[in-house]
């Protein structure tokens, strides 16, 4: 029961982060959403920063699991890249997770507590590392064409994906994300 409550708290926090960002939600919002007292939230997560770090850790671990599955199941790097881009396109279209919370929190980085800043940066390091490995693999297997080094291409790709999420949010349309990311995908695809 206690773990179930902590998971419900993290799930609602994740939703509130996507909806409002770090500064615009409180324990009162979480308590109201899941019908518990604020003291119960403090029991599981003494501070808001600790709670958000736990949510970011869960988000990063899902990224690590899912990218490892892509690496394991799809031999061609281009197929893994398509799948990654398609995952976010589906999340945006279905509104199940229309924005990466780490990207959203990155915008607020200067005003976040230090431990949350570290967790955001750690998420980006993990994602960047995977993208670099993916692009290098694509260059080796001939399925991707890199105009610059893998590191620069990975940074650009990450910026395009997160920027496309922002543009889709402003436009209220997942199609905007798809148009933007299809452009970068076409540039990277070999032959």
What are the boundaries of each domain within the chain?
55-188
Whole-number pLDDT of residue 174: 82
Going by pLDDT thresholds of 50, 70 and 90, the confidence category of residue 145 is very high
pLDDT digits (tens, 9 = 90+) for 3-44: 799 999 999 999 999 999 999 999 999 999 999 999 999 999
Let me know: does 77 contact 143? Beta carbons within 8 Å.
yes
Whole-number pLDDT of residue 96: 82
Going by pLDDT thresholds of 50, 70 and 90, the confidence category of residue 95 is confident
Strand partners, 189: 144
Largest Cα separation within the chain, whole Å, is 59
Whole-number pLDDT of residue 188: 95
Percent of all residues in the chain with a pLDDT value above 70, rounded to a whole number: 98
pTM (2 decimals)?
0.93
Q: Is residue 168 scored above 70 in pLDDT? A: yes
Whole-number pLDDT of residue 191: 63
Q: Is residue 2 scored above 70 in pLDDT? A: no
Percent of all residues in the chain with a pLDDT value above 90, rounded to a whole number: 88
Q: Is residue 185 scored above 60 in pLDDT? A: yes
Whole-number pLDDT of residue 119: 98
Strand partners, 144: 189
Q: Is residue 190 scored above 80 in pLDDT? A: no
Tokens 């148009």 -> residue: 179
CATH number of 55-188: 1.10.357.10
Distance of alpha carbon 187 from alpha carbon 179, whole angstroms: 13
Most confident among 38-42, 132-136, 171-175 (mean pLDDT) = 132-136
Distance of alpha carbon 99 from alpha carbon 18, whole angstroms: 6
Mean pLDDT taken over the chain: 94
Instruction: For residue 49, count other CB atoms closer than 10 A to its CB.
Output: 17
């Amino acid at each position: 029961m206690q773990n179930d409550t902590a998971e419900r708290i993290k799930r609602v926090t994740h939703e509130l982060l996507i909806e409002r960002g770090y500064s615009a939600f409180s324990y009162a919002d979480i308590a109201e959403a899941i019908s518990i007292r604020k003291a119960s939230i403090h029991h599981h997560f003494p501070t808001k920063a600790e709670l958000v770090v736990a949510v970011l850790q869960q988000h990063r671990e899902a990224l690590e699991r899912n990218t490892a599955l892509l690496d394991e199941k799809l031999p061609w790097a281009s197929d893994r890249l398509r799948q990654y881009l398609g995952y976010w396109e589906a999340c945006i279209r279905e509104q199940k997770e229309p924005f990466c919370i780490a990207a959203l929190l990155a915008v607020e980085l200067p005003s976040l507590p230090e431990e949350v800043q570290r967790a955001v940066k750690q998420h980006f390091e993990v994602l960047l590392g995977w993208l670099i490995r993916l692009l290098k693999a694509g260059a080796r297997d001939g399925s991707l064409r890199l105009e610059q080094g893998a590191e620069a291409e990975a940074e650009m790709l990450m910026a395009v994906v997160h920027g496309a999420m922002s543009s889709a949010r402003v436009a209220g349309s997942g199609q905007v994300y798809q148009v933007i990311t299809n452009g970068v995908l076409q540039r990277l695809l070999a032959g």
